[in-house]
Amino acid sequence: MAEQSLFIKQYRALLLAILHPETDYRGLMEGISVFRDVFSKKIQEAGTINELHQLIGTRIVQQKNKRQTENFFVKKRKYRLYKWRMVIFIFLTSCFMGIVGDYQLKRIPTLKRLSQAKALFIDEDYPGVLMMLREDKIADLSESTRYVLAVSSVHVAALADKQKRGILELLSKKASDDLLLYWVYIGKGALEKALEIAKKSEDKPAILYVYTKLYDESQTKQQMESKKKQELRTEYKEAIEYYSDLVEGKFITD
């Protein structure tokens, strides 16, 4: 992926910048800088995170063994400079190895999952999209992914085809953030959040639809106390009746 490739370039350039602080960073990013030492050449040629990790690990071991077996007949000032450069190199590479590990464990699987969700969307597998994105936080989703989630949510909604077409047309015309977010919350099952948006927008059909969803959901909650469940069902039923009278051409289920 492009994002992963850029990360490898940045990581590789940082390692080379530590070894060659006088070199232009942009040149390191583009790979146009030429090095004579074998280690720098290998870093420049490495194409994966694992290759870079292996090179760094081998280098650290080599330097440690070298310090233990050789006597350094160098001036004290030069030795200190060399020593601190190696300390900084080891520290920063250790930090970046941790960052890369986190990237591999979290970010790459997330990118893969988002790509799969968009592939399902193209195949018109809308329930599959909702299932694929069920664990992702809304705040972490890009605008395009939110659109994919919202449209998928509309497609699986228990609405008449005519109503779905109307909503999808609004979404395709760069609808307000509230409308997009409303259907994102519906798709994620965050019905209370969707209700807040609908009430803020004073969108009566949207309010009515959320209450019908909440009523259906209240009937399937097994862990809720029966008294609490009955109170909610009564509240939702009254709200459904109230908004049904206000909405012309009520939501019609397929």
Q: What is the pLDDT of residues 8-59, one digit of tens each?
A: 777 777 777 767 766 766 677 677 667 778 887 887 788 777 787 777 767 6
Of the residues 161, 189, 217, which one is the last residue of a structural domain? 189
Q: In which domain, by residue range, is 231 found?
A: 190-253
What is the Cα–Cα distance from 220 to 182, expressed in whole angstroms? 23
Residues of the chain with pLDDT under 50: 71-74, 103-105, 250-254
CB 11, CB 24: distance < 8 Å: no
Distance of CA 157 to the CA centre of its chain: 25
114: in domain: yes
41: in domain: yes
4: in domain: yes
99: in domain: no
pLDDT of residue 142: 82
pLDDT of residue 71: 47
pLDDT of residue 40: 79
For the record, the structure tokens of 2 come out as: 């492009």
Query: How many separate helices (H) and strands (E) can be counted in the chain?
Result: 13, 0
The CATH number of the domain where 156 resides is what? 1.25.40.680
Spatial CA neighbour of 117 closest among 85, 144, 97, 78: 144
What is the Cα–Cα distance from 159 to 164, expressed in whole angstroms? 6
For the record, the structure tokens of 151 come out as: 């449209």
93: in domain: no
Give the pTM: 0.57
Number of domains the chain contains: 3
